[in-house]
Amino acid sequence: MPVRSVRLFVVALLGACLTSVAFAAGPTLVLRGDVATTRGMMEEVAKAWARSGHGKIDLQPFNTASGLDALRSGSADIAGSARPGNGSAAEAGLNFTPVAWDALVMVTHPSNPVSSLTLKQLHDIYYGKITNWNQVGGRDEPIDVYAVASPGDGVEFSLRKLLFGRGNQPVAAPRLYVNTAKLEEAVTLDPKALGATTLSRVAGNGKVKMIRIDGVAPSAGTVASGSYKLYAPLYLVTNPSSPHAAEAQAFVDFATSDKVTAALRSHSAVPYAAGAALASMDTSRRAQILAAVGAHAVPQPTPSAPPLAAPGATYASRAAIAPTSERTAEARRALEERRAKAAEVAAAKASLKGVKGEATTVDAAGARAPAFAKVTASATVKSTAAKAKSAAAHARTYKVAKGDTLFSIARAHAVDVADLRSWNHLKGNAVKTGQVLRVAER
Share of the chain above pLDDT 90, in %: 42
At residue 346, does pLDDT exceed 70?
Answer: no
pLDDT at 41: 81
Quote the pLDDT of residue 2: 54
Q: What is the mean pLDDT of residues 52-72?
A: 90
Lowest model confidence (mean pLDDT) among 72-86, 223-237, 259-273, 320-334 = 320-334
Write the pLDDT tens digit of every residue in 368-419.
333 332 233 333 334 444 444 444 334 588 888 887 888 778 777 777 777 7
Do 214 and 193 meet the contact criterion of CB atoms below 8 Å apart?
no
Q: Which pLDDT does position 442 carry in this prediction?
A: 64
Q: Which of residues 98 and 340 earns the better pLDDT score?
A: 98
In angstroms, the CA 370 to CA 367 distance is: 9
> Residue 263: what pLDDT?
86
The predicted pLDDT at position 337 comes to: 53
Q: pTM of the predicted model, to two decimals?
A: 0.64
Mean per-residue pLDDT for 185-206? 94
Question: Closest Cα partner for 109 from 193, 15, 16?
Answer: 193
Choice between 216 and 166, residue whose per-residue pLDDT is larger: 216
**Burial of residue 45 (number of CB atoms within 10 Å: 0-12, 13-18, 19+):** buried
When pLDDT is cut at 50, 70 and 90, the band that residue 285 belongs to is very high
What the chain holds in terms of domains, given with CATH numbers, is 26-101+232-282 (3.40.190.10), 103-231+323-352 (3.40.190.10), 377-438 (3.10.350.10)
216 bridge partner residues? 213
**CA nearest 341: which of 173, 153, 176, 184?**
176
Percent of the chain scored above 70 by pLDDT? 71
Q: What is the pLDDT of residue 8?
A: 43
Q: What is the pLDDT of residue 87?
A: 80
The mean per-residue pLDDT over the stretch 317-345 comes to: 42
Q: Which of 10-19, 131-140, 242-251 has the lowest mean pLDDT?
A: 10-19
Amino acid letter, 280:
S
Q: What pLDDT is attached to residue 441?
A: 73
Taking all residues of the chain, what is their mean pLDDT, rounded to a whole number? 76
Evaluate if residue 57 carries a pLDDT over 80.
yes
Q: How far is Cα 419 from Cα 415, in angstroms, rounded to an integer?
A: 7
- Average confidence (pLDDT) over 114-119: 97
pLDDT in tens, 29-40: 999 988 888 877
Strands 95-108 and 270-271: antiparallel
The pLDDT score that the predictor gives to residue 370 is 33
Mean pLDDT within 64-86:
91
| The pLDDT of residue 369 | 31
* Residues 6 or more apart in contact with residue 40 via CB below 8 angstroms: 200, 201, 267
- The winner for highest mean pLDDT among 5-14, 171-180, 309-318 is 171-180
Residues found in the chain: 442
- Which whole number is the average pLDDT over 46-52? 90
Closest C-alpha among 279, 162, 169 to residue 230 = 162
What is the structure's pLDDT at 151? Answer: 60
Higher local confidence (pLDDT), 367 or 258: 258
Among 68-72, 315-319, 331-335, top mean pLDDT goes to 68-72
Look at residues 162, 127, 167, 161 and name the one whose alpha carbon lies nearest to residue 143: 127
Nearby residues of 58 by Cβ (< 8 Å), 6 or more positions away? 28, 29, 30, 31, 323, 329
Give the whole-angstrom CA distance, residue 96 versus residue 300.
Answer: 21
Q: Is residue 364 over pLDDT 50?
A: no
Residue 351 is which amino acid? Answer: S
Query: Please, what is the end-to-end C-alpha distance for the chain in angstroms?
Result: 97
pLDDT at residue 338 in the model: 53
Find the mean pLDDT for residues 4-16: 44
Per-residue confidence (pLDDT) for residue 50, from 0 to 100: 92
Q: Poorest-confidence range of 141-145, 293-297, 380-384?
A: 380-384
Position 210 scores a pLDDT of: 98
What is the pLDDT at residue 149? 81
d(CA 336, CA 340): 6
Rg (CA), the chain: 24
Nearest to 235 by CA among 411, 85, 29, 437: 85
206-215 average pLDDT score? 96
pLDDT, average across residues 290-316:
48
